[in-house]
């Protein structure tokens, strides 16, 4: 069966994309993610999409654990500092690491695959391979 239009994207992928939008904006504007999230939700048309709760949970979770998440990313990003990473990659990694560490119902492989797929759609040609390796190393650490 052929893949449908982007609007048929699974709900959690849509939620991750929305969380990425918020975290990307917060990162670029150097604002707290929770403040950007409040503004973002206020701009959305009503009724709010069903997947928004998961997106809100991702943004709030990343914000609450940002220091630990960034510490892990910096430790496992071979040859990269967190500040040198493309903004999209840095925030996709943050979402995936949050899911690896704090969202029990998401399998590690799903967190990795989703970050890689969004990187394929939204970032550089090298980003999927980079994120796959980075998040894979963190998943190995987290499963010990």
pLDDT, tens only, 69-90: 999 999 999 888 999 999 999 9
Residues 70/91, Cβ–Cβ less than 8 Å? no
Residues 105/12, Cβ–Cβ less than 8 Å? no
What is the C-alpha to C-alpha distance for residues 59 and 101, in angstroms, rounded to an integer? 14
In terms of CATH architecture, what is 9-142? Orthogonal Bundle (1.10)
Its pTM surpasses 0.85: yes
What is the C-alpha to C-alpha distance for residues 138 and 77, in angstroms, rounded to an integer? 9
pLDDT value of position 9: 63
**What's the token pair of residue 43?**
């701009």
- For the chain, give the mean pLDDT: 92
What is the C-alpha to C-alpha distance for residues 74 and 44, in angstroms, rounded to an integer? 33
Domain spans in the chain, listed from the N-terminal domain onward: 9-142
pLDDT value of position 10: 86
């Amino acid at each position: 069966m052929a893949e449908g239009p982007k609007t048929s994207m699974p709900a959690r992928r849509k939620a991750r994309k929305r969380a990425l939008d918020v975290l990307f904006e917060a990162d670029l504007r150097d604002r707290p993610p929770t403040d950007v999230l409040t503004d973002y939700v206020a701009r959305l048309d009503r009724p709010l999409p069903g997947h928004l709760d998961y997106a809100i949970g991702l943004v709030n979770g990343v914000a609450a654990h940002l220091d630990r998440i960034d510490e892990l990313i910096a430790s496992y990003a071979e040859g990269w500092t967190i500040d040198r990473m493309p903004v999209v990659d840095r925030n996709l990694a943050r979402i995936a690491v949050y899911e690896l560490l704090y969202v029990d119902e998401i399998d590690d492989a799903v967190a990795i695959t989703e970050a890689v797929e969004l990187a394929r759609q939204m970032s550089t040609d090298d980003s999927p391979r980079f994120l796959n390796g980075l998040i894979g190393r963190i998943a190995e650490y987290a499963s010990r």
